[in-house]
Amino acid sequence: MSAAEPADVLCLGESMVLVAAAGEGLRSAETAELHIAGAESNVAVGLTHLGRRAEWFSRVGADPFGSRILEALRLRGVETPRVVEDGTRQTGVYFKDVVDGRSDVLYYRARSAASAMSPADLAGLRLAERRVCHLSGITAALSESCNDLVDAVLSGRSGDVVTSFDVNFRPRLWASERAAPVLLEHARRADIVFVGRDEAAELWGTATADEVRELLPDVGALVVKDADVGATSFVGTERVHVPAPSVDVVEPIGAGDAFAAGYLDGRLGGADERTCLRRGHVMAAHALRHRGDTPDPGPAQRLRELAAIGEEEWNALRFAVQEETVRW
């Protein structure tokens, strides 16, 4: 494939630098670790690990943090040829404060470079030539222009591009009363929607996956995730539920993005719906048993093999932290 041809998947959204104190609270820590975090770039990393061509687009500051993000993503195989480095705004940063085993997050992203994204950025992204464009509700919350960008992608696309939208409601960014109607409208116009049962309940008052489907009856593929219970997808009149495997959870951050990457990998490969959900679960399980948003989940072929095991083996599957291999 020619390098001039755009990647099959385009992921749009903000990535930030995460500052995490080394094993203690920020108030007393003397050292810290820097990581890269961003829902949409996490999906891009997961897809490239599975052998797909994925591109990430955003705006970053023309600063060391922006350079760090770009270098880290390129090292993981994500393409970034169209990212804008903005000399007038900074790259977003956030801090993780862990005290007595509980984690709190402090965001410093107001007026970040990514918050200046707008529909004008779409001109050079060649959306019509993509197979999938993935974005999330986080972008819609960053600024009015960012919400306009999401709206433009979902309402004005051309060609055969499939739009993938992860609701990704973040209460720290906007109140549910304001977010609920905006995210519902975005979800109704997407081809593929990912939403947690709990966040749908908080936003829209739905109690079950089937109630979410009633609210979004025309979405081509609706995936409702229910934590360690499992995931249910609705494609047309088909309803498929796949229970989640047992996982020794270390940290939940990044698991939803990993799930989306696994599911989209299945869709890109023409897999049936049950296999798509299983690939999502396998990718999420590896994220859950590691710290950091994008751990290396091991060989892609092994991940796909796990997603294809028999029903009895699947129900007995367990991802244990203590072992390098998975028990099943």
Count Cα neighbours of 58 within 13 Å in the Cβ-side half-sphere. 35
DSSP code of residue 119: G
Residue 31 neighbours by CB distance under 10 Å: 8
226 in catalytic set: no
Please say whether the beta carbons of 38 and 161 come within 8 A: no
Give helix 64-75 / helix 39-49 axis angle, nearest 10°. Answer: 30
N- to C-terminal Cα distance for the chain? 38
Phi and psi torsions of 220, nearest 5°: -60, -45
Q: Of 276, 178, 183, 285, which Cα lies nearest the Cα of 235?
A: 276
Cα(193)–Cα(263) distance, rounded to whole angstroms? Answer: 11
Which tokens belong to 267?
């869709």
Q: Which runs of E-coded beta strand occur in 84-229?
A: 84-86, 93-99, 102-108, 132-136, 162-166, 192-196, 221-226
Q: Which one of the listed residues 86, 257, 265, 293 is annotated catalytic? A: 257
Cα(251)–Cα(231) distance, rounded to whole angstroms? Answer: 19
Instruction: Show which residues are catalytic.
Output: 257
